[in-house]
Amino acid sequence: MVHENETTVRGTVEAPWRIGTRGSLLALTQAGHVRDALIANGQQAELVIVKTAGDQNATDPVQKIGVGVFTAALREELAGGTVDIAVHSYKDLPTAQDPRFCIAAIPARQDPRDALVARDGLVLGELPAGAKVGTSAPRRSAQLKALGLGIEIVPLRGNLDTRLSKVTSGELDAVVVARAGLARIDRLDAVTESLEPVQMLPAPAQGALAVECRSADTELVTILSALDDLGARAAITAERALLAELEAGCTAPIGALAEVVESLDDDGRVVEELSLRACAAAIDGSDVIRASAVGSVADAAELGRALARELLELGARDLLSVTEESAELTDSSNPSPMENSPMSERSERITGTAPSGAVAPSASEVQP
């Protein structure tokens, strides 16, 4: 480990930027893209593996373990100076901002859609009644149930390879995961159907990365900002503002997707606008409330907040309240073994084992 002193210059061969990441193949691939992008810009960087609560507890539902299950340990390492940069799947971050940190870059976004991986090449509409479909996300579960296909939803945790193996082994008929994750690890060949937003809206910020550093590190903020994609930032800003206005966490059954689109102004000129679609679902699939809006790219946050207020007026709070009550009952009857035990954190530096890839980072979802 490089010891800090007055003459240490980060970003050099002697003192590369230290990028904190989870240790899964997917997380290493994502962080590896950020590392490669920095190197391409003349900055030296290496990866440091950080163990998170979500890695230590691979069986309980994410919503049961707690907010920030995949990000808290990374942020503590960042705050403590063990790492200089943290790479998150943006959707895993709590909606409340932490003034200690700055999201210095949101790289170009991967395809945010959900993907079906099913036996025998089946698409969703071809699955027979009673088919077992695995997913760990309440959002996916609720929207799948709302389609009324008569399928059985089976809770699912683990890395992508583990999830896919449930289908190849015959334990499950299908799983639903983030398409971006499969793209990241070159497994798009496994996808039998990419689910369109009219069927299933993705999680807010799905397919996007958050490249985070300490707010006080102004020089690093400037360096990382070169990796920022303005379209991705506008879309994620709108989606996350909607989630925050709804006061819903990253595991709530909320779907949202913003896209920069072209339209014509009153003078017939082509202008860019931000289109935002969102939904709130009852956890049992009995009701789904949908709404959409179009606004200025520059007003992305307000667009998200306004659409959230519309959802609330349409009754979204009632659906979310039912979901929260159901989760509380589940938690009280099945307490997590992690609740009263300190989280053990472990860091490990690695320099050459993470997969390399294209310079421009895209994104994926670590825990669907």
List residues with catalytic annotation. Answer: 92
Q: Is 91 left (phi over 0), alpha (psi -120 to 50) or beta?
A: alpha
Residue 212, Cα to own-chain centre: how many angstroms?
14
CA distance 352 to 159: 22
H helical segments located in 156-229: 160-168, 179-184, 218-224
Q: Return the SS3 of 306.
A: helix
DSSP string, 330-341: HHHHS--TTTTS
Smallest CA-to-CA distance from 77 within 41, 30, 23 is with 23
Smallest CA-to-CA distance from 140 within 97, 200, 100, 96 is with 200
- What does the block give as tokens for 174? 């299908």
